[in-house]
Amino acid sequence: MIPVSGCVLTAAQMHDAEIASGISLQKLMDRAGCALAEAVWRFGSGRPALILCGPGNNGGDGYIAARLLAAWGVDVSIAASGFPKTELAVAARAAWDGLVGNLANAQSSPVLVDALFGTGLTRELPAEIAKPLHRLANAAEIVIAADLPSGVGTDDGRDYGAARADITLAFAAAKPAHLLQPAASLCGKVRIAHIGVECVANVSVLARPHLAQPGPTDHKYTRGMVIVVGGTMPGAAALSATAAARSGAGYVVGIGVTGDLPHAIVRRDHDELANTLDDPRVRAVVIGPGLGRSDRAREMVDLAIASPCPLVLDGDALAPNVVNDRPAPTILTPHAGEFTRMFGDGDGSKLDRTRAAADHCGATIIFKGADTVIASPGGRATLCPPASAWLSTAGTGDVLAGIAGAMLARGFAPHDAACAAVWLHSEAARLAGSGMIADDLLTQLPRCL
């Protein structure tokens, strides 16, 4: 078992990967059941366990886990929502030589294993299943879900009446529901159990970036020159500029950025923006944080977009059709309200909408939130494990924009720059701890590099 990482597969992609593996479905179920039993043994610490088995192959995993746990000396019992409906599940139940109780009147146990439904659920849990599931989960000391908590939408992360798990054991690969809200908050800690299926996809889990340290031949320009354009709320741009500097940029210029700034950040007036953009040493521009929406602000956004510089657009710079297939590297960082204003409500999950928007505008998008999604033209996407909820405070998005600018200035491709920025942002928040404000991220960023 490993923390959630690697590729992310939809229900259909997982089915195809299992078939393509060449491993019999019986062997895959045996491996999944064994992994589930090991998780119960490890996290349950030998306490009595109740395994809830559904009618499909997820239930089959539960029957196999129960048989192994019983052989290991665990006091284990099974309650089923009905008779098995797949050939593999029927065989798994037949191999269990203990009693099988009824879900409706099952008695609680310190360890509850949810193996009722796995991937592919697209409807509300029936009341006759949801009610006892919640009753038993509330009474348990620890709840372990097999692949997914029963009652979440595998591909879109919807909640169809699921009970929250403390541990979710994902078989072979993460699924969108492990990372998209509200399902992600119902999964607890997600662990991956490899069962021999090779997984390949263009959607992956955010991973720690490789950030090279400066070498003996580096200087301020090789480390990246970043321009941050300020406006009516100078504190926002100051956060962005300081974040860029603290994230490793070698030279940061604040255009119209006033207030309390590190002395290392160069200050210039708005009138100098055009000339500064013409400097061939500029490696990235950040515009939007605290910019305002005046005619002058719009002119500055247009100047930045028309330049050949890699660009981060945030906050007030975000508008419908603000960029369309801009040839230079471009990152947009909308929150939910800005995303809707730019691209509409759209159809599908947050992942689907972000990928469609990236294709539409030809730029990399960091769709911020409790389940941040990063997508680039062509379908590549990255899903982010939940970060600190303390990030839900003013100014943290401005910090993220500055970090993204510094990553572009390093020479990263837009998608890689966006991923590195989100990871650093999340890690800085983790280090800052409870009660943090945006300014606290700035002091933690050097520790993350």
Residue 333 in marked binding region = no
Residue 372 in marked binding region = yes
Residue 370 in marked binding region = yes
Residue 57 in marked binding region = yes
Selection from 334, 304, 138 nearest residue 226 by Cα: 304
Q: Please tell me what DSSP assigns to residue 226.
A: E
Segment (H or E) for 146 = strand 142-146
Residue 61 in marked binding region = yes
Residue 119 in marked binding region = yes
Identify the three-state secondary structure at position 75. Answer: coil
Cross-strand pairs, 143: 112
Residue 248 in marked binding region = no
DSSP 348-377: S-HHHHHHHHHHHHTSEEEE-STT-EEE-T
Residue 426 in marked binding region = no
Residue 173 in marked binding region = no
What is the C-alpha separation between 267 and 269, in angstroms, rounded? Answer: 7
Structure tokens given for 338: 């800005």
Residue 236 in marked binding region = yes
Residue 59 in marked binding region = yes
Residue 122 in marked binding region = yes
Residue 44 in marked binding region = no
Cβ neighbours, 10 Å, residue 22:
9
Residue 86 in marked binding region = no
Identify the three-state secondary structure at position 244. Answer: helix
Residue 58 in marked binding region = yes
What are the b/e assignments for 80-113, b being 16+ CB within 10 Å? bbeebebebbeebbeebeeeeeebeebeebbbbb
Cross-strand pairs, 8: 174
What is the C-alpha separation between 178 and 147, in angstroms, rounded? Answer: 9
- The answer to whether 129 and 104 have CB atoms below 8 angstroms apart is no
Q: In what order do the strands lie in the sheet with 282-287?
A: 203-205, 381-383, 373-375, 364-367, 330-332, 311-313, 282-287, 225-229, 251-255, 266-268
Amino acid identity for residue 119 in this structure: T
Residue 368 in marked binding region = yes
Residue 290 in marked binding region = yes
Angle between helices 438-448 and 234-246 (to 10 degrees): 10
Residue 124 in marked binding region = yes
Residue 60 in marked binding region = yes
Residue 168 in marked binding region = no
CA–CA distances in Å: residue 158 to residues 123, 216, 269, 273, 289: 10, 51, 48, 45, 32
Residue 324 in marked binding region = no
Q: For the chain, first and last CA: distance in Å?
A: 27
- State the binding site for AMP: 368-372, 397
Binding-site members are 57-61, 114, 118-124, 147, 150, 236, 290, 335, 368-372, 397-398
Question: Binding site membership for K(+): which residues?
Answer: 58, 114, 150
* Known binding-site residue numbers for (6S)-NADPHX: 57-61, 118-124, 147, 236, 290, 335, 398
